[in-house]
Structure 1
């Protein structure tokens, strides 16, 4: 009945949703009482696997008393469902009524548990899997003209190959004028028409930014893979530039989310940068809301050669500990992680692990404070899902991450910047940064005119400059030679320096 699909940091509902309780007798000739007994039996059966691991207070309750309590609670639900369907002032849709009950039940648990219906599940899955069938453009709505404006095409996608560029206006999609889309649903309507089965043709009427006459384009849908690893700006060939302007070999990598492909993207990027002689890395996790737990642990493992990355503990699950492995570790350069108040969940797992193992310093401001893990559980035959909090996670140092509803600013939660590296932004600064970033992320031939002095990025650069200056680069070699001289017996030569290399890596 249940199957866990993925773990986040972020009942067979179908049988009930098609049954209803409009009368005392239900389809198939079953009475309400018989249906209630069967429903409660199904609930007990579904709960049977979890009954193997029960909390202390549950163990103290006799099985018969628990079953009676379940029956009484299900009876209350069925009675209420029947009363609403029968007596509400307007006819109600049974499935919508049930889904509303599920949403309320999950929302009452915590802010991160939720019910995902069939329409939301497809979008949710696309975000996690980082791919969908479409043409590959980002669009926005011009508030003055109500026209759809292309923000940027994704490099290499069908839209990019068809000549669609930033600033172009989409006048019609599949023969439907965008001006006739329902108010408030312009973007939603556009997305529905542009997404679809790969290989199919989408007809677009496009007004290029520099033209006065629209052109008709036939664009073939393809699998669009949305990258989560971004650089500072686009190169002319559509690839990302991962180096900051005017700085020698200081790499800058943004991670927008922790999706299915994020670890592979980070690994390939680090390999390329390492081969190019990268001297220092800034990993920007600002505004990253999190994602897959596995992605966070795999990326952390790339920077650590040993030790605990994170541990998770649940009520009905054994503690799970994720540890770093030495193979494949990138360690010969200093790292700065940028976080802000919107860095959450998997972002906090990664930044906390690097901070606790002294592999990176944290610059910016205290992170969001989400220390819980959600499992996505398919229900209704995979048509919908529950995103349910099933565990809490704990950083290597043992410090608390989760910000509880009654937490104070003075309490321990979130990931705090390294001492001396807290740099806060005002709301006005954050808004200017986001606008600057939006313009800089547009794929265009000429550079964007917008500029912004990023104080958090500047602090990160300041730290890396101090670490990769000629004096700083020479000091490790001096320390290593001194250590060899102190540990080698008089009159003998040192027998290799593998130990000093391993210590310096930590």
Structure 2
């Protein structure tokens, strides 16, 4: 203990020395799998820490320049966690503030989304910036009298975020350059509580003078579209509201877009899965020092009776992989796009330093309902089991240049406009593939198929639709043949992933689009037609034992914390905070 007396003159440093001691005790305890005591005695632990204390003391005494002791200690903590795995991190006070804003989906600001160059992508409807008339394309050139070009290089965006965000009710002055008017405009805005939705539509539409997301991708086919950017505190609640709106408008099929979704709260991923499943396992977790857990779905509040497609890409990770894997294993949705990232670990965010900072520590891994692995370990190759792969026939690989074009295309469609979505020559091949599949499930023809059928009829050849119908009848006959099953030997009879029909609320058969009884009959017919594209594979999902009962729509975070103290949140997230790939940063 003698060497620790060197820090006695500085209470802050002594506190941080104890933070490291506590962290080391925790790691030592984890090595034994016994949460009740560390692997080594306190005396042995202090002996092990002498090397660190001596090194820090020598740096302070003899390094050529003055050093920031707190910064050195934080760097030491980061180095220690870096040796564990890529997803365990130390969260500094500054990062913790941004993390909380990401998870809670709220912050004090003005309500604009900006690019790295401080160009406004779009204002958020109803926010101070939106009401003041700040427009997409405006470039922020001055904040509180300070020109943005004079902000520290390499930290310009970070510094601008610090200046623009602040407590609700306070004011901020800024100037923007508007290219269309070729002049600078000055604004004084009062900051407000900004709520950032994680559930978006395809584009904005104007309803009663207000801009709202359009969730109906194809009004004629009544195909809905919802996009989840990450899993925050209110994601399941927002998704449920969007689904209710689509249901009231007569939705017959749904696309759930999880592309570039880096993850988020585990509880919200579970709740999202539960919205689409009536029964069965959602996800299971297990760790060396935490008890195994299994979450199951329940029937109440389920949105069923329509086919689904889930879109993923190489940047879909963590909690988004939980959702994609669950719906795939249940045969509830077809997965379209690219193989996902492959992050199958769960992190607890544990308060440090009286809640001023935090430790994001990997405590468990999760398995998909089928029991298959999702996590990609270092050294795993393309032939190893990891991630979520699209269903057979639904792989749509994008080149890097096409991916960049998609991000720009998506960014433009997210801009608020009174004229509807912008015209573009870009073709979203992943979305197009999903739409074609859903139309086929609904018994509708895609415009391309109709043109091809017309050409085939003129040539006297059987149409593609006729060929598909004949193949479907042949497949149905084979499946009905006695004594033939697709189940492995010894498997129990597995339930299909086909959802049950749910009762409609009174008046729901008459939608705002004017649909009535005929629409209800069409919906019933589409439900009978819906079959999983993976029907050739036996379902492992319902053969797995699941505990009785279900999971509530909102799972309390502390219930996922595996008994660890000071757990702020349980996440399955790529980094400390999601980094925008196509849109920008909210201020």
Settle same-fold status: TM greater than 0.5: yes
* Partner in structure 2 of residue 132 of structure 1: 107
Choose from 354, 357, 360 the match for 1:381.
354
**SS across alignment from 1:166:** coil
What do residues 381-428 of structure 1 show as CA deviations (whole Å, max 9, x unaligned)?
A: 111111100000011101110001021211111111111111111111
Choose from 343, 346, 365 the match for 2:319.
346
Choose from 424, 429, 437 the match for 1:463.
437
Check the 8 A contact 1:334/1:359 in 2, yes or no. Answer: yes
1:158 aligns with 2:128: yes
Choose from 170, 178, 198 the match for 1:228.
198
1:443 aligns with 2:377: no
After superposition, the Cα gap between the structure-2 partners of 1:229 and 1:500, relative to the gap in structure 1 and judged at 3 Å, is: closer
Counting only pairs closer than 5 Å after superposition, residues 168-179 of structure 1 correspond to structure 2 as: 168-179=138-149
Q: What is the TM-score of this pair, normalised by structure 1? A: 0.81
* Partner in structure 1 of residue 187 of structure 2: 217
Bigger relative CO (Cα 8 Å, ≥ 6 apart):
2
In 1: Cα distance, 2:172 partner to 2:20 partner: 50
What do residues 70-102 of structure 1 show as CA deviations (whole Å, max 9, x unaligned)?
A: 233122222222222222222211111110100
After superposition, the Cα gap between the structure-2 partners of 1:95 and 1:190, relative to the gap in structure 1 and judged at 3 Å, is: same
Counting only pairs closer than 5 Å after superposition, residues 475-494 of structure 1 correspond to structure 2 as: none
Check the 8 A contact 1:40/1:71 in 2, yes or no. Answer: no
RMSD, aligned α-carbons: 3.5
After superposition, the Cα gap between the structure-2 partners of 1:405 and 1:141, relative to the gap in structure 1 and judged at 3 Å, is: closer
1:307 aligns with 2:280: yes
**SS across alignment from 2:365:** strand
In 1: Cα distance, 2:424 partner to 2:153 partner: 31
Counting only pairs closer than 5 Å after superposition, residues 56-455 of structure 1 correspond to structure 2 as: 66-67=41-42, 69-140=44-115, 148-236=118-206, 237-245=210-218, 247-446=220-419, 447-455=421-429
1:244 CA displacement: 2.1
1:438 CA displacement: 1.1
After superposition, the Cα gap between the structure-2 partners of 1:380 and 1:469, relative to the gap in structure 1 and judged at 3 Å, is: same
In 2: Cα distance, 1:178 partner to 1:42 partner: 42
1:190 CA displacement: 2.0
In 2: Cα distance, 1:390 partner to 1:63 partner: 16
Structure 1, 313-322 or 240-249: larger mean CA deviation = 240-249
1:436 CA displacement: 0.8
Check the 8 A contact 1:128/1:291 in 2, yes or no. Answer: yes
Name stretches of at least 5 consecutive residues in structure 2 with no aligned partner: 446-464, 466-471, 481-498, 503-526, 531-541, 543-587
1:176 CA displacement: 2.1
Check the 8 A contact 1:439/1:450 in 2, yes or no. Answer: no
1:444 CA displacement: 2.4
1:431 CA displacement: 0.9
In 2: Cα distance, 1:394 partner to 1:216 partner: 53
In 2: Cα distance, 1:268 partner to 1:189 partner: 36
1:368 CA displacement: 0.5
In 1: Cα distance, 2:293 partner to 2:440 partner: 38
In 2: Cα distance, 1:43 partner to 1:500 partner: 52
Name stretches of at least 5 consecutive residues in structure 1 with no aligned partner: 1-15, 30-34, 143-147, 484-498
**SS across alignment from 1:97:** helix
Check the 8 A contact 1:166/1:444 in 2, yes or no. Answer: no
**SS across alignment from 2:217:** coil
Counting only pairs closer than 5 Å after superposition, residues 12-31 of structure 1 correspond to structure 2 as: 24=6, 26-27=8-9
Structure 1, 395-404 or 182-191: larger mean CA deviation = 182-191
After superposition, the Cα gap between the structure-2 partners of 1:45 and 1:134, relative to the gap in structure 1 and judged at 3 Å, is: closer
1:41 CA displacement: 12
Q: What is the TM-score of this pair, normalised by structure 2? A: 0.71
Check the 8 A contact 2:113/2:121 in 1, yes or no. Answer: yes
